[in-house]
A and B are shown apart, each in its own frame.
Chain A
Amino acid sequence: MEIGLSHYLVLSTILFAIGLVGVMKRKNLLLLFFSTEILLNSVNIAFAAISHYYGDLTGQMFAFFVIAIAASEVAVGLGLLIVWHKRHNTVDLDTMSTMRG
């Protein structure tokens, strides 16, 4: 059986849905970051698959930049999270309401 582009896009959809469920369900900010990584990875699969089936390298280039952005997001986000945890002893999303949002 031949594996086509649609197989990879379906896989990407499923992973994206799992990540979105995580983003909506989680209250702990650390686990929210994990769900964000899942979202970024699912899109990377779609980019690489389209790049392969159309013989175009642009998809792979975008996947590289997505990976670079994910790495810097983790560094800054984790630093902010550590500062917040030092102050308030929790990383719960519901406690972050100092701006009454």
Chain B
Amino acid sequence: MFEAIAFYLFAFLTISMFYITVTTNQALYALTALAAGMIFISVFFFILGADFLGAIQIIVYTGAVMALYAFGMMFFDTTRDVKEKQGNKFIIVGLSALSAVLVVLIFVAPIVSDNITALYPMTEGAGNTQEVGMVLFTKYLIPFEVAAVMLLVAMIAGIVLAGKKMDLSLTLMNDAQIRHIDEEKNKKVIS
């Protein structure tokens, strides 16, 4: 009973938050609504018994990704209204619904044909975090390490891309000045 109430309440909240994110004209409203929706999604993970995933959802999405977006938005002009594509709305909504149903069919197809068996079944008497640890560090150890290397590469890429020439603004200079900077850089590379 309480599960049903929680599910419907948070489903409604999540859908409305994400609806605000895709329809609003203000980038700041979109950011705030998205952060709220991320926290509401973690509720489903807690209902489903995936406690560790729910905690990761809050820490990574709301703590890291949203903070990164918030800091990134300081570089952009967010007070300006966002322009929208003027297309046929029915085509957009129809195509989206169709592809979403297709994605769910991909998930459902192996369940309907009923040949699904638990590859790594949940062990009795162990908490969710313990189970996750056991599977992650035995069966999924190599993907885990590859993900770690990928995050390191992404961190270095972010630093190199965003941290370059932080002291001067390329939009306030004219083309001749930018070319001058590029030539100096090339000279350094050649010499």
> Which of B7, B50, B92, B108 counts the most chain A CB atoms within 10 A?
B50
Contact of B36 with A by CB under 8 A: no
Q: Given the complex of chains A and B, what is the CA–CA distance between A64 and B143 in angstroms? A: 11
Closest to A1 in B: B4
Tell whether, in the assembled complex, residue A2 and residue B38 are in contact, meaning their CB atoms are under 8 Å apart. Answer: no
Chain A, Cβ-Cβ closest to B48: A52
Residues in chain A near residue B69, CB distance under 8 A: 30, 33-34, 74, 78
> Between A and B, how many residue pairs show CB distances below 8 Å?
233
Q: Which residues of A contact B122 (CB under 8 A)?
A: 55-57
Asked if B84 is an interface residue, CB under 8 A from chain A, the answer is yes
Task: Place the interface of chain A in its size category.
Answer: 35 or more
Docked pose: A7 CA to B8 CA in angstroms: 9
Asked if B27 and A45 make an inter-chain contact with CB atoms under 8 angstroms apart, the answer reads no
Docked CA distance A55–B124 (Å): 11
Would you call A13 and B103 a contact (CB within 8 A)? yes
B68 contacts A74, CB within 8 Å?
Answer: yes
Q: How far is the CA of A19 from the CA of B19 in the complex (A)?
A: 9
Is the CB–CB distance between A83 and B84 below 8 Å?
no
Distance from A27 Cβ to chain B, minimum over Cβ atoms (Å): 5
- Kindly identify, within residues 94 to 108 of chain B, every residue whose CB is under 8 Å from any CB belonging to chain A: 95-97, 99-101, 103-104, 107-108
0/1 interface trace, chain B 73-95, chain A, CB 8 Å (1 if under):
10110000011110100001101
In the complex, the chain A residue whose C-beta lies closest to that of B164 is A83
B99-A20 in contact (CB<8A): yes
Q: Are B22 and A35 interface neighbours, CB within 8 A?
A: yes
For A38, the chain B residues whose CB sits under 8 A away are 18, 21-22, 34, 37
Measured between C-beta atoms, what is the minimum distance from A60 to chain B in Å? Answer: 5
Residue pair B119, A60 in contact (C-beta under 8 Å):
no
Q: How many residues on B have C-beta within 8 angstroms of the other chain's C-beta atoms?
A: 86
Q: Which residues of B contact A18 (CB under 8 A)?
A: 15, 18-19, 22, 96
Expressed in whole angstroms, the minimum distance between the Cβ of B157 and any Cβ of chain A is 5
Chain A 13-44 residues near chain B, CB threshold 8 A: 13-22, 24-28, 30-31, 33-35, 37-38, 41, 43-44
Known: A2-B4, A25-B22, A49-B44. 20 other contacts (CB 8 A): A1-B4, A8-B44, A11-B14, A21-B93, A26-B84, A31-B27, A34-B21, A41-B37, A51-B50, A60-B52, A61-B135, A71-B151, A72-B154, A73-B154, A75-B154, A76-B158, A79-B157, A83-B162, A86-B165, A92-B83
A residues at B contact (CB < 8 Å): 1-3, 5, 7-9, 11-22, 24-28, 30-31, 33-35, 37-38, 41, 43-46, 48-52, 54-58, 60-61, 63-65, 67-76, 78-83, 85-89, 91-92
